Amino acid sequence: MKLSSEEQTEKCSKIHDVLAEYWNWAYYDTPHSECSWLLAEYVKKLKPDVEHRVPPVIREIEELLEQARDNPFSILDVGCGVGGFIDRTISSLCEKYPNVQIKATGIDVSNEMIGYASENLHELDVELVCDNITNRYLKFKNEPFDVAVLMVTLSFYNDENAKEVLCAIHDRLKRDGHLVVMDFAWSYKWGNFTLFKKPLQKLTNMFFSHLIGEPFRFTNRTEDHLKALLSDTNFEVTKSYLSEKKSKMKGMLVIVAKKTGIS
């Protein structure tokens, strides 16, 4: 049975409430509590992983900033977590473009994540919101946005609910706004044989179900699947590549898409 957007968001919130302190450790090297062996393995691999995720997305935002030359330039981070990506992005871009006012907004469904983000970003002029991006009554002070970012967020939603998220983002972008998506490259192929997809699916579902004590299904999507979702929600893909081209096992899929039409 497919979960409604509200039901899926509630489960996502539970998962990220549990993970918040470990994400904070990954980005800011803060202490974390004792945990199960499964979560310990996740934490051990998380820190180097997130350090590889951030630079490619910053490069894409910088390229968009170069093209737009808007002042101010506004960024929306959907699923902002503990604020690590916003922190690094603001630091990097403000140093390189001192004459451009960079405005950032972060939104997350997890109270715990937003709590950590508020502490980590307290010295920056950043808008942080704990809510679902699909809430049509939300009004951000920095919208419409030049660019929105989705880092490993769509995988927590089935196709129907992912389209709701994408349409909500589409509505909050400028006419020529862009979306940068980073997600797992789930299909590893050798010839016509797809490797690891089913084992990875089972392992991921087991991990998140273990965290919240109830069944949860992570959604594995191929590059073509993600592109189709974007096309269905009036985004035109302009770029798509693996963040680490030499290793599909380590690489994350990066997709840049331009807003088109009306969602």
Q: Which residues contact 96 (CB under 8 A, 6 or more apart)?
A: 62
> What's the pLDDT at 147?
97
| Range of 192-201, 218-227, 246-255 with top mean pLDDT | 218-227
- Where does the pLDDT of residue 192 fall: very low under 50, low under 70, confident under 90, or very high at 90 and above? very low
User: What's the rounded mean pLDDT across residues 187-202?
Assistant: 53
Which range (3-7, 45-49, 111-115) has the least confidence? 45-49
User: Would the pLDDT of 229 be above 50?
Assistant: yes
d(CA 77, CA 154): 13
Token pair belonging to 200: 């990875």
User: Would the pLDDT of 184 be above 90?
Assistant: no
Tell me, what amino acid is at 237? V
> What's the pLDDT at 119?
96
Q: pTM here?
A: 0.91
Domains of the chain: 5-259 (3.40.50.150)
User: What's the rounded mean pLDDT across residues 76-87?
Assistant: 96
User: Would the pLDDT of 168 be above 60?
Assistant: yes
Q: How far is CA 35 from CA 16, 44, 110, 241, in A?
A: 15, 12, 20, 35
- Where does the pLDDT of residue 199 fall: very low under 50, low under 70, confident under 90, or very high at 90 and above? low
Q: What angle do CA 40, 162, 11 make, to 5 degrees?
A: 45
pLDDT digits (tens, 9 = 90+) for 101-130: 999 999 999 999 999 999 999 999 999 999
d(CA 163, CA 5): 10
